[in-house]
Structure 1
């Protein structure tokens, strides 16, 4: 029996949860042709988790469960360990994974208080795997690329936001000679490290660290990407943050436009347009200094300037300050849906050769 139900985007989350509770499987939900959300017994548990914020240990278990649920498409990868010994658990997602394929990297939760970041990364990962069975575009993505996806890059800081300080931003490593803990991981990357836009005070939120890649989490991720790039060419690098609703292109440290700025700007614009088309969430895009102060030692500049990944971006997710870092759980699914649309638009742009 086919049953059609109409729902506005505002009430779609409630509709999803109502169907989940009913225990019904084998159905699909479509948004104005935007996508089909398919739910069956194999992925229903994962979609339940998408609607809730998760501890690091729960996200680590989710990574294991996803790899077990989709063994032909997903493999668990350990990128390294945090300062406190937590595993940096990533997924390698792709069909017929091969070192001859090009690669894509994206991660969340470099800043630990940005809880919508891992939730959005998890949602998009789940949808890539679910949609592979019926979406020709997703089939093309996973057949062309191996995706390396790390939901939580700063697990120590993230866990600390659950146990001690909800608004903690930095890592949790001690600083010699200072009572203040932690380094801003997004000021610790070696490319233009220590230039304006980062602090040398260990008590500041944007403390750059005592030296580039002083944080084991940063060193583990950069070593992993550089080691992998000896076998696979990376086509895309994205660092997901919140908040601000921006799709940011290099450079973060300088107003100067990089060599590939036109292509980066075009694809960022297509991603921003796709995001807005889903729930009407407006994004600005382009060079960070057009929208904020200079910042040095950032991920996207390292991705472009050191790892030579042409399409290297930093994305600031919802919202623009109404809730800020305390975005409520009922915005997880909408954030995931719109960002997934942006990711797909970005991939299409790269595959098409940045057709303007």
Structure 2
């Protein structure tokens, strides 16, 4: 795609800000890893070779019966029985003595004189646990970091690294959706007020002031008691209380620029109000808008973490960084939980602030980097 001179200048300004550029690169790598979390941290193998066939449990459902077992429920790939069934090609003897049968098959190629099929194998992701996987082999909960669990386990013996990966993804996606919805509402409201002015501006400004001073936390607490919270319901609630922060700066920019000469010329040529607002005036308000955007995103992440910390956010089935912070508070004998939550939030929010600082400067015509 060919860039125009203005876009090239903005891109050059962003690249010239080394802190923003490196923050973007680091955040992009982390975010891409978390987007593919199912292939990085999962309690299902990526690939299984069973009886000369390749199967992909991470993408498809396979029951234990599909590997020669007894049950139609999904296979527990960590269990010794299922591992033995896959490795020996589905011998029923694995259900009685999985370790002994596999050892005999590996040494002699047969079990009690019965030749085994071609040996199977499983390719696991780097972290063989999902965010909700309970490791029953752990002696105590929470357990300290070791070779199996790099950051230890929480109070339910769930792997902390897996919960951080999934929690990072859901926090960032939540914040981005909140920012998009809030920006759309706030920019539209501020542009309408600033462009038309008069009684429209006065009436809308009073409504915005009333909405802005509503106790959002108490309303969310009341609604969480009335409804079962979900990702989209909580996203809409946070967004409906975040858009007002953009109204004032967008309104001020439109009030300042609505009587400029190029706007009058556009009106004289018969250009519609909507076209003037969003094609000619909105670019001038982008710097002020982008200045507040990192605060909306970081505020959304902090709001989600606070609600999860209080037990009023996402359901318990979701991986939550706020819930991890709560465990760090309640489990002072497990400092790895608190430190993990703190450094995850610190790194995530710092990178986002640095990135949007560079984006803001790139859109500012007064900023020029060498």
Higher relative contact order at CA 8 Å, sep ≥6: structure 1 or structure 2?
Answer: 2
Normalized per residue, the structure richer in helix is: 2
In which range does the TM-score fall when normalised by the shorter chain? under 0.3
TM-score, with structure 1 as normaliser: 0.25
Give the number of the structure whose residues are more often strand, by fraction: 1
